[in-house]
Amino acid sequence: MRHFLRMRDLTSGEMRRLFARAAELKRRRREGHLEDSLAGKTVVLVMEKASTRTRLSFAAAAFQLGGHAIELSASTSQLARGEALSDTARVISGYADAVVMRTTADARLEEFVRWSSVPVINGLTDGGHPVQVLTDLFTVEEAIGAVSGKRIAFVGDGSGNMSRSFLEAAPLFDFTLQLGSPPAFRPPPAEAQAAGRHLTVSGDPRAAVAGADVVVTDVWTSMGQEAEAAARLKAFQGFTVDGGLMAAARPGAIVLHCLPAHRGEEISEEVLEGPQSRVFEEAENRMHVQKALLEHVILGGAAETTEA
């Protein structure tokens, strides 16, 4: 079964085919073609945290490929009343062709996967956001060409799900992740070690951004960390991606943010809305990339690019 729970669940060949298929599907939508590769297929979205982009982009992706998506939010389902994940996963497996799950601990996603007999896609956990990083790398390639050999600066919370998925992606896509974060907000040592020469770490955001082709940031307080918000706001002072910081990057560097953004905290209004920002293309690309991903997990190689 083809789950997508972390970046390394796709081989580099599969990533390449997926990006080609996503580009093809994006172009075909612009040209007005209708698709039916997922006709009759059902995608269930299990959402245990808030979401705007993930639920909408997966639902639109399934629909535009001729399939259907059903959302199950924790608060309005029996999950909130304590129904076992093992029971929920087996029940959903009887209805769905694939599941997208957004949850808290990675162990909870793993538990769901253990009982699921259909492919599961990680729609964000405390430990990673692989569908977002897959999309971010697609967006980089669209804007400035092959990601291999590029320098991607991640500024802010180095211990969060976004930076950890970027870290996992660095050796797989052969880019250098230049992490700029306060010492208390670094990735788990084993994950940093696994990235080897593909990671540099600095407590100085300017040093982290130096010479970068891409500058990425994310919220300082992720979902589930609300009680730490005041302490985090203090800890991350000086790590705002603003015009002054961008001056240290390569001229022409692009800026990514998975959204939602907190203007004036991790990113300034001028950068988010400025000419280097690819943030709204990035958000749109979630749908194109996830179409290719849904085809991959549900159909295998059957719907991969046939056009030159």
Q: How much helix, strand and coil, in percent to the nearest 5, is found in the chain?
A: 45, 15, 35
Do the beta carbons of residue 240 and residue 215 sit within 8 Å? no
Of 143, 235, 259, 299, the residue at the interface with ligand CP (CB under 6 A) is: 259
Catalytic residue among 129, 164, 232, 257: 129
Tokens encoding 255:
């800026």
- In a 13 Å sphere around the CA of 30, the CA atoms on its Cβ side amount to 9
249-268 binders of ligand NVA (CB under 6 A):
258
Binding partner of residue 162 among ligand NVA, ligand CP, none, CB cut-off 5 to 8 Å per kind: ligand NVA
Angle at 183 between CA 178 and CA 187, to 5 degrees: 60
Q: Is 2 a catalytic residue?
A: no
Binding partner of residue 52 among ligand NVA, ligand CP, none, CB cut-off 5 to 8 Å per kind: ligand CP
Which amino acid belongs to residue 145?
Answer: G
Question: 51: helix, coil or strand?
Answer: coil
Catalytic residue among 151, 164, 258, 288: 258
Q: Give every CB contact of residue 185 below 8 A, 6+ residues apart in sequence.
A: 156, 157, 158, 159, 160, 235, 236
Residue 46, φ and ψ in degrees, nearest 5: -95, 110
Q: Which residue number, 24 or 266, has a Cβ lying nearer to ligand CP?
A: 266
Q: Is 132 a catalytic residue?
A: yes
String of contacts with ligand CP for each residue 111-150, x by CB under 6 A: -------------x-------x------------------
| Shortest separation between residue 237's beta carbon and ligand CP, angstroms | 24
59-98 binders of ligand CP (CB under 6 A):
none
Residue nearest to ligand NVA (CB): 222
Q: Is 9 a catalytic residue?
A: no
What positions carry a catalytic annotation? 102, 129, 132, 218, 258, 286
